[in-house]
A and B are shown apart, each in its own frame.
Chain A
């Protein structure tokens, strides 16, 4: 079963704009991760945020986590055409010892 649900399912913006994707989950977690998948390729790990962290940065990526609302957001600043991809959140649920992925957000950056 899918633990995380991403919102929106699809997002199209102009190059240079910021892109925000949201993820909601159902159970208590150890950490939450974000992955990127280019068309026809495997998933690439972007960033991990632990359950006791509220915000994390990596380059143009900013991730927030609100455990009280069971939600996370991924912000990509100053988007580029190369950011066009699907983005998935994945949760490492406590006691489950496995990574469960959401349905993904399909991001399109228009030049």
Chain B
């Protein structure tokens, strides 16, 4: 079944180490989103891609977070160096259907849960 694939599902690292998360979105959609969800909170948008280009990264902590989307398909989100407050679930999302690029309805992956010790 087509969906948004993310890996790894779980990662535990020590502070100041680096980590990378991978997302394979629903095929055929130009838009891809990375959200950060801290425990007990709603998801917060980190970065939005349109094909290979960045549409919105206003809430991405650029001193430690970076993201890229090569060839307009898969995307990686990297954190280096990690801080304790980066402990969260990192969610990747695609538009739910073709017209969702206008309405904003999203299909989320299962997420990558990061614990920073």
Contacts from A to B (Cβ < 8 Å): 2, 4, 30-31, 33, 40-45, 48, 88, 90, 92, 97-104
Q: Is the CB of B110 within 8 A of A41?
A: yes
Q: How far is the CA of A88 from the CA of B35 in the complex (A)?
A: 14
B96 near A45 with CB under 8 A, answer yes
Beta-carbon contact of B108 and A42 below 8 Å: yes
24 A-B pairs, CB-CB below 8 angstroms? A2-B41, A2-B42, A4-B42, A30-B104, A31-B104, A33-B105, A41-B110, A41-B111, A42-B108, A43-B43, A43-B91, A45-B96, A45-B106, A45-B107, A90-B42, A92-B103, A92-B104, A97-B56, A98-B48, A98-B104, A100-B45, A101-B43, A103-B41, A104-B41
**C-alpha gap A92/B104 in the complex (Å):** 7
Contact present for A98 and B106 (CB under 8 Å): no
Is B117 part of the binding interface, using a Cβ–Cβ cutoff of 8 Å? Answer: no
Are B104 and A33 in touch, CB under 8 angstroms?
A: yes
- Beta-carbon contact of A45 and B44 below 8 Å: no
B25 within 8 A of partner (CB) = no
Question: Which residues of B pack against A, CB within 8 Å?
Answer: 4, 35, 40-45, 48, 55-56, 91, 96, 103-111, 113
| Shortest distance from the beta carbon of B76 to any chain A beta carbon, whole Å | 18
**Which of B42, B43, B105, B108 has the most chain A CB atoms inside 10 A of its CB?**
B42
Classify the secondary structure of A's interface with B: strand
Chain A residues contacting B105 (CB-CB under 8 Å) are: 33, 45, 48
Q: Which residue on chain B has the smallest CB distance to residue A92?
A: B104
**How many angstroms between the C-alpha atoms of A48 and B107 in the bound complex?**
13
Identity of the chain A residue whose Cβ is nearest the Cβ of B56 in the assembled complex? A98
Q: Report the separation of the CA atoms of residues A111 and B35 in the bound assembly, to the nearest whole angstrom.
A: 33
Whether B45 pairs with A102 at a CB distance below 8 angstroms is no
Is the CB–CB distance between B42 and A101 below 8 Å?
A: yes
Which 7 residue pairs across A and B have the least CB separation, nearest first?
A101-B42, A42-B108, A92-B104, A43-B108, A42-B110, A99-B104, A101-B43
Least Cβ distance of B22 to chain A in Å?
15
Identify 7 new A-B residue pairs, CB closer than 8 A, beyond the known A4-B42, A30-B103, A99-B104.
A31-B103, A43-B91, A43-B108, A44-B108, A45-B107, A48-B103, A102-B42
